A and B are shown apart, each in its own frame.
Chain A
Amino acid sequence: GENVEQHPSTLSVQEGDSAVIKCTYSDSASNYFPWYKQELGKRPQLIIDIRSNVGEKKDQRIAVTLNKTAKHFSLHITETQPEDSAVYFCAPSGGSGGGADGLTFGKGTHLIIQP
């Protein structure tokens, strides 16, 4: 199965600064790399995803970059705002596990935006 590591576990940044969260995976056959955001007391929601034929994807202040050789992908948030405060989970999949075979989430990164 997939072995997923996510760093850091907690990240505190000043409002307006950038935040970067990294996810490392073990299954070289993985081909789908999503990031989920879970606000306190709310459901996890997909915020951005990337597939293995693309190196970078951007959606307004959020971007994801993928390095398949090194087996890691990162979430980038620019111009952070208070509503970005949440726990972020990566969930690489599409290899020997994932989807109907089971989706493995990273342990999560608690992002705190300081006013």
Chain B
Amino acid sequence: DTEVTQTPKHLVMGMTNKKSLKCEQHMGHRAMYWYKQKAKKPPELMFVYSYEKLSINESVPSRFSPECPNSSLLNLHLHALQPEDSALYLCASSLTGRSNEKLFFGSGTQLSVL
């Protein structure tokens, strides 16, 4: 299994809603990432978990809350989002989190905030 699986594929939510994005991989990778991608822009790093510990938080607003229950699962909890948070949210994984490793991306969750 060389896939990173994300659910849901699409999500529409209001600014007062609470929702969660889920990501799963069974490649034995120990690093998992959340990226945000706006249309016609490159992916921007939001969070990195390496060996289930949050190692980077790129000053992302607190309305985004990551969680890594174990090395195969990664969640992103969303609360009180703004319309400008509408974007494609990509999960990725790599073997250990070293900087010279291939990233495996999931298909993403297309999020619309109304």
Chain A residues near B (Cβ < 8 Å): 31-32, 34, 36, 42-46, 49, 51, 89, 93-95, 97-108
Instruction: Give B113 Cβ to nearest chain A Cβ, in Å.
Output: 20
Q: Which of B11-19, B37-45, B64-72, B77-85 contacts A (4 or more CB under 8 A)?
A: B37-45
Number of interface residues of B (CB under 8 A): 25
Residue pairs across A and B with CB atoms within 8 Å: the count is 66
Identify which of A43, A97, A101 gathers the most chain B CB atoms within 10 Å of its CB.
A43
Asked whether B55 lies within 8 Å of A34 as measured between CB atoms, the reply is: no
Instruction: Give A55 Cβ to nearest chain B Cβ, in Å.
Output: 17
Chain B residues near A (Cβ < 8 Å): 31, 33, 40-43, 45, 48, 50, 55-56, 58, 90, 94, 97-103, 105-108
A93 to B103, CA, bound (A): 12
Asked whether B42 lies within 8 Å of A94 as measured between CB atoms, the reply is: no
A83 to B105, CA, bound (A): 20
Closest-by-CB residue of A relative to B3 is A43
A107 to B41, CA, bound (A): 6
A89 to B45, CA, bound (A): 14
Asked whether A102 lies within 8 Å of B58 as measured between CB atoms, the reply is: yes
A108-B100 in contact given A99-B94, A101-B56 (Cβ < 8 Å): no
A100-B98 in contact given A106-B42, A107-B41, A108-B41 (Cβ < 8 Å): yes
